[in-house]
Each structure stands twice: as C-alpha cells, then as structure tokens.
Amino acid sequence: MLRQLRRTGLRALKASGMFRLMRESGQRNSRLLIICYHGVATADEHLWRPSLYIQPEVLDQRFRLLTKGGYNVLPLGEAVQRLRTRTLPPRGVVLTFDDGAVDFYREAYPLLKSYGFPATVYQTTYYTGYQRPVFTIMCSYLLWKRRGEVIAAGTELGLTPPLDLRTAESRQAIVRNLIDLTAVHQLNGQQKDDLAHRLAQLLGVDYEDLVRRRILQLMNREEIAELSKAGMDFQLHTHRHRTPMNEQLFRKEIQDNRAVLREITGKNPVHFCYPSGVYEKEFLPWLAAEGVVSATTCDPSLATARDNPLLLPRYVDTSGQTELEFEGWLTGTIELMPHRRNGRAKGL
C-alpha cells in the first residue's frame, strides 16, 4: 500500500519535471548513491528470492539508464574519498555486489565491462576455497523447490516430520533446524554439504546437477584473480559471512577475509560491507582497529559528507524495484518522499 503510494507520488514527480530538476540539483550532486546488488539470476533464483536477485536483462536496463542520464560511476575508494572532501563529480554513483557468487563472473562482469563501469565486489571467502554450494542458502533453495507441499519425512536427517514447505516462514524454520543440527554435531564443510545433498535426495531434487551448474556457489580463486587483474575491486565481507559479538572473533573474520583476498589479488582491501546489512555500534572501533576506512550498510539512503564513513547507506536494487523507483533513487528524488532507514544497530 505504502509502496503503491510511493510509486504514484514518484510518477507525479517525474511528470512534473522534478526528476530532471533533482538530478541537476546541488543536493544530489553533493551526495553519493551507492547501489547494492546481490545475485544476478542465472536460473530461477529471482523467483525464489526476489529481494536478493536481479535478472541480467533488468541489470542491463539499469546500466543503460546510468549511461543515458550522464551518471558518474566511480570506483568505491575514490568515491568515498571525494565524498569526504566534498569533491564529488555531479551525479555520483558507486556499484557494489555482495558475496561474490559465480553469477557475478558469468553475468554481471561482462555487462560492467561492456558499459565500462567500475564495481566493487564485497567478497566473502570461505567458499572461494571450497567449491560447493553455500550451505544455508542451498537448503533454503532446495526447500523452495518443493514449495506448497507438506512432506511426511525428515527423521533420517534429524528433522521432525512433517516438513511444512507451504510458506516462507515454515521453510525458514526448517533451515534454522538444519543450522542447529550442524552446530550440535559440529559438522565441517564436507559434512554440511553431505547434509544438503541428503536433503535434496529427500526432496527429489538433483543435487549434483545444481553443483555441476554451480548454482549458489561463490567465485573460485582463479576467477577472482582474473577479474581483479581486469580492474574489478574486491573488498571485505568477512570470511564466513558472519559478525560475532566478540572483538577477537569479529576481527579474526576480517583478518581471515583480508588474508585470502590479499593472497589472491595482491591488494590490501580496506573497505567493508556488513553481512546481511546488520551492524552494532560495537563494530565501529573494531573495524577502525583493522584499518577499515569505509563500511556500507543496507540502510536505504544517498550518502552525504556528514555520514560516518563506517556507516554509509546503500540502495538495494532488485528485480522487485521498478524502473521508476530506480530513477527516483538515481536522481535523488526519492529523498523528497518519506522513507525509513532500516538501521539494525542499537543506539545508532
């Protein structure tokens, strides 16, 4: 409902010429739009998680709009620096991709290259050295494949039947049970992959086919090295995609992540992105102690020179966003409308 109202409002603003005015305004030109992408769908992933995936043809349309509107797509490091020194070029935009899945290599990179856009990949690294599907999201994907059903099995995996796959919530509850099982039995990567395989068998899904097609896998070391050489920027996202509430463990995630990236790319990453956009005020000094100079959230806003560099907002673009909304963000017109920051940090 609120969304519908916003779209109606945006349509009216566009028709009145406000998009054009805002695009050229001092307000827009002093701000930086950092755009966040997750996955680019190679099969049906955008139907499974529309809030995380974008179809390649939609991404192509977005890039066309960036070119047509004369937006300055900047490398992240340069943009952060110029934001702070108030020397941004007009209509500044940064493109970021979270996690570093294979689809970045296959779908996003060729498009970026054809448009000549720089981009940053916030690369989580555990699975770059272990070329199997990412366990948690694969379990979620497998259960979604049989959505709408109730399955009278699961004991053999340690689950309690029946498995209710009818809603996103009930499927998520099963994923949580599977995660708990991996913790209780202290399963290693190989054992977790076996568990996902057995779950697929139980659900009648061809796991080896998904593995062969590298669905829900991260880029391997060779792919990262190749893209880094070609000019793509690889930055921090933790080694295991988690942010423990303990300084030593949190910093170890950064250190392990950085060590892998440095070894593969020969460059020292100093920019960070909070996994799942979740941050706490305790993280800020820990990041600073690790020499991190910028960190991005998923709080939807354009970044200003007044923002804390370790809490830079980003706009998450997905297939669920219309072209009108995307343009609303590009031009900065969206800031004229009420929207909320989704900060998950206490006291920030």
Shortest distance (Å) from residue 241 CB to Zn ion: 6
Distances in Å between the alpha carbon of 126 and those of 132, 172, 266? 11, 23, 18
Give the residue with the Cβ less far from Zn ion, 31 or 241: 241
Strand partners, 40: 54
Residue 27: how many CB atoms within 10 A of its CB? Answer: 12
Q: Using the rule CB under 5 A, give the single segment among 94-102, 178-186, 253-261, 289-297 that binds Zn ion.
A: 94-102
Shortest distance (Å) from residue 237 CB to Zn ion: 6
Q: 47, 43, 63: which is closest to 109 by C-alpha?
A: 63
Would you say 71 and 90 are in contact if contact means Cβ atoms under 8 Å apart?
no
Q: Using the rule CB under 5 A, give the single segment among 26-34, 64-72, 269-277, 300-308 that binds Zn ion.
A: 269-277
Shortest distance (Å) from residue 124 CB to Zn ion: 6
Shortest distance (Å) from residue 347 CB to Zn ion: 24
Would you say 195 and 182 are in contact if contact means Cβ atoms under 8 Å apart?
yes
Distances in Å between the alpha carbon of 251 and those of 102, 246, 256? 26, 8, 9
Residue closest to Zn ion, measured at CB: 98
Nearby residues of 104 by Cβ (< 8 Å), 6 or more positions away: 40, 97, 121, 219, 227
Give the residue with the Cβ less far from Zn ion, 157 or 345: 345
Q: Using the rule CB under 5 A, give the single segment among 82-90, 97-105, 283-291, 296-304 that binds Zn ion.
A: 97-105
- DSSP alpha helix (H) spans, 104-188: 109-115, 135-145, 168-184
103 binds Zn ion (CB under 5 A): no
Shortest distance (Å) from residue 310 CB to Zn ion: 17
**Looking up tokens 């708990």, which residue turns up?**
180
In this structure, what DSSP letter does residue 242 have?
A: -
Q: Using the rule CB under 5 A, give the single segment among 15-23, 203-211, 225-233, 274-282 that binds Zn ion.
A: 274-282
Give the residue with the Cβ less far from Zn ion, 13 or 40: 40
Give the residue with the Cβ less far from Zn ion, 31 or 38: 38
Shortest distance (Å) from residue 273 CB to Zn ion: 7
Q: Using the rule CB under 5 A, give the single segment among 60-68, 152-160, 217-225, 271-279 that binds Zn ion.
A: 271-279
Shortest distance (Å) from residue 65 CB to Zn ion: 25
**What is the size of the binding site for Zn ion (CB under 5 A)?**
3
**Looking up tokens 């050489």, which residue turns up?**
229
φ and ψ of 122, to 5 deg:
-85, 100
Give the residue with the Cβ less far from Zn ion, 202 or 278: 278
Binds Zn ion (CB under 5 A): choice among 45, 98, 223, 327? 98
275 binds Zn ion (CB under 5 A): yes
Give the residue with the Cβ less far from Zn ion, 91 or 271: 271
Residue type, 240: R
Shortest distance (Å) from residue 100 CB to Zn ion: 9
Would you say 146 and 165 are in contact if contact means Cβ atoms under 8 Å apart?
yes
Q: Using the rule CB under 5 A, give the single segment among 92-100, 181-189, 262-270, 323-331 that binds Zn ion.
A: 92-100
Bridge-based pairing of strands 233-236 and 315-316 is: unpaired
Give the residue with the Cβ less far from Zn ion, 88 or 298: 298
Shortest distance (Å) from residue 193 CB to Zn ion: 20
Shortest distance (Å) from residue 274 CB to Zn ion: 8
Q: Using the rule CB under 5 A, give the single segment among 99-107, 215-223, 261-269, 324-332 that binds Zn ion.
A: 99-107
Please, which contacts does 172-181 make with residues 24 or more away whose CB atoms are closer than 8 Å?
172/140, 174/139, 174/143, 175/136, 175/139, 175/140, 175/143, 178/139, 179/136, 181/157
Would you say 69 and 51 are in contact if contact means Cβ atoms under 8 Å apart?
no
In this structure, what DSSP letter does residue 89 have?
A: P
99 binds Zn ion (CB under 5 A): yes
Residues in contact with Zn ion by CB under 5 A are 98-99, 275
